Amino acid sequence: MMNFEKLQIPIDSNLCERCGKCSGACPSYRFMPEFNPAQIVIKLATREKEKIEDVFMDPSIWFCTMCHTCLERCPENVAPSHLFVEVKNIAAQQGNLPDSLKKESNQIIETGLTVPISPAIKRRRDELGLMEFLPPNIEEIQKIIKKTKFDQLVG
Amino acid sequence: MTKFALFLGCLIPLRLPFIEVSSRRVMEKLGIELVEMNGAGCCPDPIGIQSIDYKTWLALAARNLCIAEEMNLDILTLCIGCYETLKTANHVLNNGPEFKYEVNEILSEVDKEFKGNIQVKHIIEVLYEDIGPKEIENQISMPLEGLQVATHYGCHSVRPSEIIQFGNPERPTFLDELVEALGAQSVPYLEKMLCCGAGLRNTAKEKEEEALSLAKVKLDEIQRSKADCMTLSCPFCFISYDIGQLQINRKFKERYNLPVFYYLELLGLALGISSSRLGLKFHRSKVTPVLKKLGLA
């Protein structure tokens, strides 16, 4: 289970059996060999500072689709996809964060949504006989974001 | 009458509103009342936002959960991404007292408190568990006889199984059963549980070709299976295969022409709701071959 206060990284060096089931199950690895889940887990398990820092700065950690197949197949409870969430949280703090995600985050900070409410979509909803889309309570969302300092992280 | 708080999310109401229309019309016909969630925002996105900052992700999800708690209703989601976020947040907050404490401290800024007294369900889960394939079979008036359907589950509809606890995480059958309840046939095919690649579209824009390749693997197999169409229950997967099909055709000089349906649209047709009332003309993949086969066009 993810725990944002007590990080699991570096992970226990004996945890991973190196069976490779995570990489075998990974849809991203199939087309992007630079993202190799087993290799990332093994690097984290070395407990060597340099290798772990390498993982945090690697742009390919963002290639995980979060399908969680690795988590289902891992016989040792490493839960790679959850571990990678932790890796990416730390990477983001160190500035390894794709522009597209910065953009999505700022859209949420401004509107509370990932998709803008456009005049075209208003017309389409009308045409379909749907009621007007109720906008989110943006004041509440922005208060929460200010409290967690998410705006500073993605700014 | 069974009632749920309807969590719409962003993508369906603001990009694929025909999915909202089908869901509302079908649920009304089945006697399920959907109540609007005033003030709800993005779930938020289980791939991007969770990966950037877990704490913000959990707190924003908890705020949405609180709205339903105040309504005293379980949540029904139309999107599998929203389902993953809200169901996971509900699970984490209910099972981790330290998470609940910290999130409630954040929520006190907006005078909210997570209590943990509601459930989160996806619309397919409600159809399967609260209504059931047998009852659906009894309710339909226009069986989709002869229609061969390839089902696509969507990763987060079943995984992580420890949290989702619905269906087998690698060999689920509920969507196939729901398709057969409509009088159609679910066809077996290879790569059935392969991810659609939607996650990559957001977190790795430069990997568009790889994301499309992933979707193409599945389209190839479905084509080989001779299915008339595919069905799914997630707007992200829908985009991967609907608009995605046109992008794949351009990029790889292919000629895929596979109709893609959100499950509620097929159910709507079987309940006798017209294709125009379901807004099927707004699909990018043309649905006419299926309507013709069913004698509806």
Query: What percent of chain B has pLDDT above 90?
Result: 97
Pair (B233, B183) in one structural domain: yes
- Tell me, what's the pLDDT at A3? 47
- Tell me, what's the pLDDT at B88? 97
- pLDDT, tens digit (0-9, with 9 covering 90-100), for B52-104: 999 999 999 999 999 999 999 999 999 999 999 999 999 999 999 999 999 99
Backbone torsions φ then ψ of B229, nearest 5 degrees: -165, 170
* Amino acid identity, position B271: L
Give me the residue from A81, A88, A133 closest to B13, CB to CB.
A133
| Tokens encoding B178 | 């729901």
- Tell me, what's the pLDDT at A11? 75
* Residue B68, domain member (yes or no): yes
Count of the separate structural domains present in chain B: 2
How many whole angstroms separate alpha carbon B121 and alpha carbon B132? 14
Residue among B80, B90, B200 with most chain A CBs within 10 A, to mutate: B200
* Residue B213, domain member (yes or no): yes
Neighboring chain B residues of A124 at a CB cutoff of 8 Å: 17, 282
CATH code: domain of residue B71: 1.20.1050.140
How many whole angstroms separate alpha carbon B212 and alpha carbon B200? 10
The segments of chain A whose pLDDT lies below 50 read: 1-6
Which residues are within 8 A (CB) of B255 and not within 5 positions of it... i.e. 6 or more apart? Answer: B249
Q: What is the signed CA dihedral for A72, A37, B11, B21, rounded to 10 degrees?
A: -30
**C-alpha to C-alpha distances, B227 to B153, B178, B185, B190, B194, nearest whole angstrom:** 16, 16, 9, 12, 17
Pair (B154, B241) in one structural domain: yes
Q: Shortest Cα distance from A27 to chain B (angstroms)?
A: 7
Q: Shortest Cα distance from B279 to chain A (angstroms)?
A: 7
**Over 50: is that where the pLDDT of B51 sits?**
yes
**Over 90: is that where the pLDDT of B20 sits?**
yes
* Residue B127, domain member (yes or no): no
Query: B204, A125: Cβ pair inside 8 Å?
Result: no
* Residue B141, domain member (yes or no): yes
Q: What average pLDDT does range B200-212 have in this prediction?
A: 91
Backbone torsions φ then ψ of B33, nearest 5 degrees: -90, 130
**C-alpha to C-alpha distances, B215 to B157, B211, B244, B254, B263, nearest whole angstrom:** 18, 7, 8, 13, 19
Chain A from 60 to 99: CB within 8 A of any B CB? 62-69, 71-72, 79, 81-82, 84-86, 88-89, 92, 97-99
Neighboring chain B residues of A79 at a CB cutoff of 8 Å: 160
- Tell me, what's the pLDDT at A4? 45
Pair (B95, B185) in one structural domain: no
Domain span including residue B160: 132-293
Query: What percent of chain B has pLDDT above 70?
Result: 100
* Residue B52, domain member (yes or no): yes
Pair (B211, B278) in one structural domain: yes
Which residues are within 8 A (CB) of B187 and not within 5 positions of it... i.e. 6 or more apart? Answer: B148, B149, B150, B225, B226, B227
Pair (B94, B185) in one structural domain: no
- pLDDT, tens digit (0-9, with 9 covering 90-100), for B234-275: 999 999 999 999 999 999 999 999 999 999 999 999 999 999
- pLDDT, tens digit (0-9, with 9 covering 90-100), for A84-126: 999 999 999 999 999 999 999 999 999 999 999 999 999 999 9
CA closest to B236 among chain A residues: A65
Pair (B283, B137) in one structural domain: yes
Chain B contact present for A23, CB below 8 A:
no
Among B90, B122, B154, the domain boundary falls at B122
Rounded to the nearest angstrom, the gap between the alpha carbon of residue B213 and the centroid of all alpha carbons in its chain is: 22
Pair (B141, B286) in one structural domain: yes
Q: What average pLDDT does range B47-51 have in this prediction?
A: 97
Pair (B195, B80) in one structural domain: no
Closest C-alpha among B35, B123, B28 to residue B82: B123
How many whole angstroms separate alpha carbon A89 and alpha carbon A84? 8
Pair (B163, B28) in one structural domain: no
Four-residue CA torsion sign, B199, B201, B203, B204: positive
Pair (B164, B54) in one structural domain: no
Pair (B76, B191) in one structural domain: no
Query: A101, B17: Cβ pair inside 8 Å?
Result: no
Which residues are within 8 A (CB) of A134 and not within 5 positions of it... i.e. 6 or more apart? Answer: B36, B38, B39, B40
Which residues are within 8 A (CB) of B225 and not within 5 positions of it... i.e. 6 or more apart? Answer: B148, B150, B187, B188, B189
Neighboring chain B residues of A150 at a CB cutoff of 8 Å: 52-53, 56
ipTM of model: 0.95
Query: B55, A148: Cβ pair inside 8 Å?
Result: yes
- Tell me, what's the pLDDT at B60? 98
Crossing angle for the helix pair B97-107 and B54-71, to the nearest 10 degrees: 80
Pair (B149, B262) in one structural domain: yes
CATH code: domain of residue B237: 3.40.50.11810
Among B122, B156, B180, the domain boundary falls at B122
